[in-house]
Amino acid sequence: MSVDGNNRLRLYRQSLVKAWGCVDYNDWPIKLNAAFHLFLEEFSAEFLDDITYLESERGIALADIARAMNNPARVYRIIDASLYGLKRSRTPLVKQRQTTLKLLDMVKALKYGSEFNENGINEILSPSQVALLADKVPVSCTPFGARLIHQFCGAMWSYTESIFFRAHDVTKEIHGPYPLQDGKVLVVKDYLNLRPTEIWGDMPLLPCNSIRIVKKYAAGVNLTIDALNHLYSEQKLLIPHLEGYFMIVDGILADEDMATGLLEKMKEAVSAISSGVDEMSWNERVAKYAEIFWFRKRPVRDLRGLPWHVPAKVRERIAIGTDNSARRERLSAEQVSRLGQITI
């Protein structure tokens, strides 16, 4: 392993320790760690096999495979799941590390800046792209508008978790904060795959597929984004510091009436899906989680021209499986740190 490779693996481990130590673990609708053993080995094997095939047999560049996955968080957060599968199949450590570096290369191909967000910035856009966006932000923001857009983002968090559980990366990429010349900062929130009828059938869902929200905050606002795409703020209240924003829905500039209408649809969807999930058995919830995981890597299956759905043998195992009781408890800070350091 080269010096650069070892350094990248060190930064990867550090990013996991930081993110795992800060995140507020939400176990809805199940404790995911206690169900991994029922499907993650096959998920990992299929995902990595598809990448290898696309590279070696189809001659598709790794960067182009990455672009099919669309957003960097979607790849970064799959790395740990891929490693879990490799460990379960007793893959040699050197191969695990080579695989991690390859997936990190895919993440890097989707970003202007570092794949690790060491400086707290998820830098996807170039300075020229940031400048173009900043110029489009209105120069003022009413108190009502500031409250509305923050309420909207809060509702989007609930909505995206209801449709993809903890796999937020399939449906969300928060990037920035991009520093502007006047000391102000720009934050971009891209919401994706907002209408996954393949997973939820006739459940009420948003009537759009994508939403982009661009927000400009006053100088002095301190925001950071870790490598797993968690946003942190040192300000208790961000609303008074918002100087302007705009929202694009499926390519169309949205006004406050459209935002208000979408808010109501989100509330309806979250209520319906939550009620439906609450009525599921534990095994049915795991099966839905597996379906979300397979949808998570669907772009590489589509690129290969193969069905993306969960294999029948995995569904059969889930149907009769039980949880791993050893993984039910939340880890302490010390345990999180130790786990991160031995991940790869």
pLDDT tens digit sequence for 98-120: 999 999 999 999 999 999 999 99
The residue out of 277, 295, 320 marking a domain boundary is 277
> Does one domain contain both 228 and 149?
yes
User: Are residue 144 and residue 218 in the same domain, yes or no?
Assistant: yes
| pLDDT confidence bin for 26, thresholds 50/70/90 | low
| pLDDT confidence of residue 156 | 97
What pLDDT was estimated at residue 22? 61
* Residue 131 and residue 196 in one domain: yes
Strand partners, 253: 248
Is residue 297 a part of any domain in this protein? Answer: yes
Per-residue pLDDT tens over the stretch 160-207: 999 999 999 999 999 999 999 889 999 999 999 999 999 999 999 999
pLDDT at 1: 65
CA distance 107 to 79: 10
Q: Is residue 295 part of a domain?
A: yes
What mean pLDDT do residues 198-218 have?
Answer: 97
Greater confidence (188 vs 339) lies with 188
92 φ, ψ to 5°? -55, 145
**DSSP assignment of 22-86:** HS-----SS-GGGTGGGTHHHHHHHHHHHHHHHHHTT---HHHHHHHH-SHHHHHHHHHHHHHHH
Q: What is the per-residue pLDDT for 234? A: 85
Whether residue 195 lies inside any domain: the answer is: yes
pLDDT at position 20, please?
Answer: 74
Q: For residue 61, is it within any domain?
A: yes
Domain membership flag for residue 121? no
The residues, ordered by sequence, that sit 6+ positions from 313 with a Cβ below 8 Å of its Cβ are: 42
**Same domain, yes or no: 196 and 175:** yes
Could you count the other beta carbons within 10 Å of the beta carbon of residue 85? 22
Residues 242 and 293 placed together within one structural domain of the fold:
no
Both 30 and 133 in one domain: the answer is no
- Which residue among 277, 301, 323 closes a domain? 277
Residues 6+ apart with CB under 8 A from 31: 323, 327, 328
Domain containing 241 equals 127-277
Identify the pLDDT of residue 237.
83
Q: What is the mean pLDDT of residues 18-45?
A: 84
pLDDT for 228:
95
pLDDT-derived band at 331 (thresholds 50, 70, 90) equals low
Cβ neighbours for 101, distance < 8 A, ≥ 6 positions apart = 5, 8, 9
The DSSP 8-state label assigned to residue 125 in this structure reads S
Residue 122 within a domain: no
Q: Classify residue 320: in a domain, yes or no.
A: yes
User: How far apart, in Å, are the Cα atoms of 301 and each of 199, 294, 306?
Assistant: 16, 9, 5
Write down the pLDDT at residue 295. 98
Kindly state whether residues 178 and 263 are assigned to the same domain. Answer: yes
Average pLDDT, the chain: 93
Q: What is the pLDDT of residue 324?
A: 78
Tokens of 342: 């031995």
Per-residue pLDDT, 42: 97
* Orientation of helix 282-296 relative to helix 72-88, angle to 10°: 120
| Angle at CA of residue 292, ends 315 and 98, nearest 5° | 95
pLDDT tens by residue, 302-316: 999 999 999 999 999
Are 38 and 94 in a shared domain?
Answer: yes
pLDDT of residue 235: 75
Q: Are residues 265 and 164 in the same domain?
A: yes
Residues 253, 186 share a domain: yes
Residue 19 lies in a domain: yes
Structural domain ending residue among the three candidates 228, 251, 277: 277
Total count of domains within the chain: 2
The answer to whether residues 197 and 62 belong to one domain is no
The answer to whether residues 154 and 264 belong to one domain is: yes
pLDDT above 60 (res 339): no
